Amino acid sequence: MSYSSLIFMLYFLPITVGIYYLFRFSQRVQNVWLLIASLIFYAWGSPVHIMFLLASLAVNYGMGFLISRQQQTAASAKPVLTVACVFNLVLLFVYHYLTPLAAGVGFAISSIVAPLGITLITMHSISYLVDIYRLDVKMDKNPVNFALYIAFFPLLIGGPILQYADVADQIARRKSTWEDLSGGVCRFVIGLGKKVLIADALGLIASHVFNLSAMSGSLTSVPAALAWVGLIAFTLQIYHGWSGYVDMALGLGRIFGFRYGENFNYPYTAVSVTDFWSRWYTSLLSWFHNYVLDPLTVRNSSHDRLVRNTFVMWLLIGLLFGCEWTFLLWGIWNASFLIFEQVIEFENMSVSPILRRIYVLVFLLLGWVLFRTGDLYQLSVFMGNLFGANGNGFVSDMALMLIREYWTVFLAGIVFSTPVAPKLRALLISKENVWTLLMTALLFLVIIFLTRKGYDPYLKYSLL
């Protein structure tokens, strides 16, 4: 079940919210209901995978108890933490990487379908156990509270990635007001609009153009203009897809009284690569800094090893999305620019904002080629198409046709990826009736579009 499915919006969410607010007399009962609803949400697409989730919850809850107990008895908790982390990482490897890796070395095995949100579940579980080990948080003796942190349905698709300390108090003690309900619904509808009306529409263009450069489409000439249209479409698609899902998660959380931190701060207006990664999906980078880079840096503080550790972290981030070589190259691409900027102290250099933004956009566009192409063959072909190196020419009737057909979507994608969006939202919110009418119209428009389409192109690039 996806947040942008009609089943979720018209049946699951209204029923879940209605019963939740009927239980306003008891926070514990509300938490139990949210956990039940989350398990139903999880089991909807694949009932078999509910066993994976329950097993993961039971093992990680028990491991947290053992780590806490070892520390109380002054015994070493490190072996328990190591076993727990290995358990989580092995599950992630088996479900997420085993099939493509086996195929890559010539072994034919049946496809293993990964459970929903396995990457996010793994990251939340590991951070919880490590924080108990570090004494940053106490082990939660209430299994419902712990399970809600790991399996709460607004966090299962696309994040944000939370640390237990961020939400422990909210799980145990929070207020769910009618203002939260209305504000959360509006935030959810905005994210839904970004995802369905912008990201999905641009995803059709991006998929079509990139597929022309794939192995099966290698005989098709892709003019440079068409390649650039496809790349720009994907650049806007992935921003509105990721940020749209996070907006939906923030809105859903607020409906139930949870307040999560913002994760996107208009990253396409960044003036350096470092600035970009301080604005793009900040909870992802925060997790890797806290649980990968910082521990390595404490042990190895020399300059050369700091560079090596940065590359290690970004290789792991690349692997998080898949084991294709292009994801690894994307990780190296990011690490190289971040280290380069740190070495030359780019943030302190006197460079005009216009040149800075051009530099960042070039970095992003070429980086997204690495991220989107599925293999090294497609990468080489698509890069060649961008710069006319394949004898493919520049002019494209198809590119002009796509621009004429989708110019409003491209324009909306560009405008709403800039700080114009919050200013416009603030202006509209001040006019309550107009804002309510606009959100209602947006919701109905999304529903109309959902009845006409039957796929979700964004899910391929999410942290599932």
Residue-wise pLDDT tens digits, 428-444: 877 777 888 898 999 99
Tell me which of 175, 201, 225 is where a domain ends.
175
Q: Are residues 228 and 359 in the same domain?
A: yes
Per the domain annotation, does 19 fall within a domain? no
d(CA 464, CA 459) in angstroms, rounded, equals 8
d(CA 382, CA 389) in angstroms, rounded, equals 10
Mean pLDDT of the residues in the chain = 87
Which two tokens mark 15? 């029923």
Q: Which domain holds residue 450?
A: 180-458
How many structural domains is the chain composed of? Answer: 2
Q: Are residues 298 and 166 in the same domain?
A: no
Per the domain annotation, does 266 fall within a domain? yes
Residue-wise pLDDT tens digits, 88-105: 999 888 887 776 666 555
Q: Are residues 128 and 184 in the same domain?
A: no
Mean pLDDT of 197-217: 85
Per the domain annotation, does 111 fall within a domain? yes
Q: CB–CB of 28/20 below 8 Å?
A: no
Residue-wise pLDDT tens digits, 144-154: 999 999 999 99
Q: Are residues 197 and 62 in the same domain?
A: no
Q: Note the pLDDT of residue 404.
A: 93
Say how many residues make up the chain: 464
Q: CB–CB of 355/372 below 8 Å?
A: no
Q: Note the pLDDT of residue 298.
A: 64
Tell me which of 121, 144, 175 is where a domain ends.
175
d(CA 36, CA 144) in angstroms, rounded, equals 10
Q: Are residues 99 and 219 in the same domain?
A: no
d(CA 120, CA 224) in angstroms, rounded, equals 37
Q: Note the pLDDT of residue 426.
A: 81
Per the domain annotation, does 354 fall within a domain? yes
- Phi, psi at 161, each rounded to 5°: -95, 120
- Cα distances from 305 to residues 152, 229, 318, 321, in angstroms, run 38, 40, 20, 25
Q: Are residues 285 and 421 in the same domain?
A: yes
Tell me which of 126, 146, 175 is where a domain ends.
175
Write down the pTM of the prediction: 0.90
Question: Which residue is listed with tokens 């119209």?
Answer: 441
